[in-house]
Amino acid sequence: MLDAKIPSGPLENKWTDYKGHCKLVNPANKRKLEVIIVGTGLAGASAAASLGELGYKVKAFCFQDSPRRAHSIAAQGGINAAKNYQNDGDSVFRLFYDTIKGGDYRAREGNVHRLAEVSANIIDQCVAQGVPFAREYGGLLSNRSFGGTQVQRTFYAAGQTGQQLLIGAYQALERQVALGNVKMYSRHEMLEVVMVDGKARGIIARDLISGKLERHFGHAVLLCSGGYGNVFYLSTNAMGSNVTAAWKAHKQGAAFGNPCFTQIHPTCIPVSGDHQSKLTLMSESLRNDGRIWVPKKQGDSRKPNEIPEEERDYYLERRYPAFGNLVPRDVASRAAKERCDAGYGVGTSKQAVYLDYASAIERYGRTEASKHGLEQVSIEEIITMGKEVVKEKYGNLFDMYEKITGENPYEVPMRIYPAVHYTMGGLWVDYELMTTVKGLYALGEANFSDHGANRLGASALMQGLADGYFVIPYTIGNYLADEIYNKPISTDHEAFISAEKEVSRRLEQLMNIKGTTSVETFHKRLGKIMWDKCGMARNAKGLQEAISEIQQLKKEFWKDVKIPGAIDEFNPELDKAGRVADFIELGELMCIDALNREESCGGHFREEHQTEDGEAMRHDDKFMYVAAWEYKADHEWILHKEALHYDVIKPSQRNYK
């Protein structure tokens, strides 16, 4: 069933060869080919714009009121590219190598190398669109290092890189809308993939304002609908981020790849109470200067500033002297959880650790003092100067922290805790980004492809834009070249009618339950099961329990959910109900996948598989494969394995000690 279609030949020539040999569609024919794009984040907007430019007839859908709202906008840190502007030894190979290693050897070499190759083009394209990347005084682009890489390859726009890149793609998209090449459907949600003769031929979408169902034909359908972190209820994802589009595709035959690979980001603002609706990420760059600690005494209720230096446990520096506070995300997250579970957590919830800037402030202050040739300076003056430097570097993050918590991080250490941030898993796709359903593609976070079991910082933006700007414009031609013989199918075709009927039936079923429990309550319960049993650390017993709890939850949901309002109107509760229903089903599959993968790798940590000192233990002999799950029936999936071959890189155990 799984053919990854990776071109043969040497790694560095695969993409060039592919581009040289793939089929092309002539311009006159492009006008006759229709492409549907679901989701308008970095992947969707860039794909819609690029395909529109090529002359395809594109229809783009998003559930927000404007494509500019997609959650790509929230990415803070930056975007990687192998430009080697800093002359510090970066190269396409090194970016490729770092990404494979960072993913703990669970990604495809061919895909990742292509990603590294096109990374440089992305920067050029974005600059040409007017994305205001940070620059040096000489007028050239500035870089920083990110996520503990040894080279400076991250391009950024203050702490708002995702926003600027998305606005760039959004503007390119709006330009195509103005030119009539793309038709935009905002406040629309895709609720079904329409299949004709085994190929994806369109979608059923719901106009979220009027509640009406619409049929849309496309020679190909692209899902760019993002990740499914909201299955955990609390995550750094936007409130509306959902798995529905991908899940509908999955149920129509698209295999789901590595669903259990979830990234938990170590530096988020902790939960403040039961009312919490989402979590906010604080850029990873904070770990460059901040020191992470907990009290040495369990349940210490003193205020942080009252705890003397010798009674603090800088546990990352203690456990990982080589990398210290800069260990990768998965390692830092697990270490925080370990301390909190052992009773050393801080704050009212005891589910937090300190991220302390006191020593950085003092260090910067001293540097400033010596820079200005000041010798007789009081510690207060040093601290004042140090705060200025820290403000310059991290001011916006500190402000954000203060807004949310009401605490001043210049005076009191910040409290942080890991939170669900990104999902490496997603729809299984081949080298051409096509799912196991013909004509159905998945791009960006919605696919499983490039990050293996753990994503490195500043590479999500890179992947989304690589897929949309530089991969799909080639690979889709290879498919559509043969489609020119197929006339557009009327939306009165039987397949469209029955698909719409099915969607309509499901909506009515939801509305007719008229139970007693709100959608939100079910979502929270699902989130708790997932976080407790399929979160940062997983074990067989917990996962088995989770599976049966989720099955139970699903039954309850379909019996007792309460949805106010009607179908034929603007009804956010109904929208949410549909999404939560899909999350429940996905949650079960995630647990099944996590149970199946009896090893620890990247973001997936099975407690049974760890070294004596608590580090992750991979089992390459048994699990060097992509787990692609085929949907059969309710609670029933078939596992297909795509073996991963490392021809160029030799997998090794990651070590940050």
Partner 1 sequence: MEHYTMNLTLKVWRQKNAKSEGHLETYQVSDISSEMSFLEMFDVLNEQLIRDGKEPIAFDHDCREGICGMCSMYINGKPHGPWQANTTCQLHMRAFKDGDTIVVEPWRANAFPVVKDLVVDRTAFDRIIQAGGYVSVNTGNAVDGNAIPIEKDKADAAFAAAMCIGCGACVAACKNSSAMLFLSAKVSHLALLPQGAPERKSRVVNMVAQMDKEGFGACTNTGACEAACPKEISLSNIARLNQEYLTASLVSEK
Q: Binding string, 445-474, against partner 1, x = CB under 8 A?
A: ------------------------xx--x-
Q: Which of the ranges 67-75, 310-318, 540-548, 608-616 carries the binding residues for partner 1, by CB under 8 A? A: 67-75
Per DSSP, the three-state class of 132 is coil
The three-point CA angle 432-436-437 to 5° equals 100
For the record, the structure tokens of 620 come out as 């390459």
**Rounded to an integer, what distance in angstroms lies between the CA atom of residue 590 and that of residue 377?**
58
What sign has the CA pseudo-torsion 454, 620, 625, 543?
negative
Q: Which is nearer to partner 1, 521 or 539 (CB)?
A: 521
Sites for partner 1 among residues 518-557 (CB under 8 A): 518, 520-521
Least distance CB 236 / partner 1 (angstroms): 8
Pairing type for strands 291-295 and 312-313 reads antiparallel
Residue 278 or 297 with smaller CB distance to partner 1: 278
x/- mask, partner 1, residues 617-636, rule CB under 8 A, reads: --------------------
Site for partner 1 in 403-432 (CB under 8 A): 403-407
| DSSP for 162-178, written as a single string | HHHHHHHHHHHHHHHHH
How many CB atoms are closer than 10 A to CB 196? 17
Nearer to partner 1 by C-beta: 341 or 407? 407
Region of 132-140, 336-344, 441-449, 613-621 interacting with partner 1 (CB under 8 A): 132-140
27 touches partner 1 by CB under 8 A:
no
Q: Which of residues 210-249 bind partner 1 (CB under 8 A)?
A: 236, 238-240
Task: Tokens for 610, please give them.
Answer: 């760890």
In the range 195-214, which residues lie near partner 1 by CB under 8 A? 209
Residues 413, 357: contact at Cβ < 8 Å? yes
Q: Which of residues 251-280 bind partner 1 (CB under 8 A)?
A: 272-273, 275-278, 280
Token output for 293: 């600690």
Binding of partner 1 at residue 50 (CB under 8 A)?
yes
Residues with Cβ < 8 Å from 291, sequence gap 6 or more?
314, 317, 325, 355, 356, 359, 360
Nearer to partner 1, 405 or 486 (CB): 405
Closest separation in Å from C-beta 227 to partner 1:
14
Spatial neighbors of 416 by CB under 8 A, at least 6 apart, are 266, 267, 268, 269, 270, 282, 292, 336, 352, 353, 354, 355
User: Does 53 engage in binding with partner 1 (CB under 8 A)?
Assistant: yes
Candidates 20, 138, 308, 373; binder of partner 1 (CB under 8 A) is: 138
Mark the segment that binds partner 1 (CB under 8 A) among 99-107, 162-170, 216-224, 437-445: 162-170
Positions 312 through 351 that interact with partner 1 (CB under 8 A): none
**Piece of 178-186, 358-366, 495-503, 593-601 that binds partner 1 (CB under 8 A):** 178-186
Shortest reach from residue 218's CB to partner 1, in Å: 20
Residues in Cβ contact with 526 at an 8 Å cutoff, skipping those fewer than 6 apart: 231, 233, 550, 553, 580, 583, 584, 587
End-to-end Cα separation, the chain, in angstroms:
41
The Cβ of residue 581 has, within 10 Å, a number of other Cβ atoms equal to 21
Scanning 155-163, 527-535, 542-550, 606-614 for contacts with partner 1 by CB under 8 A, the matching segment is 155-163
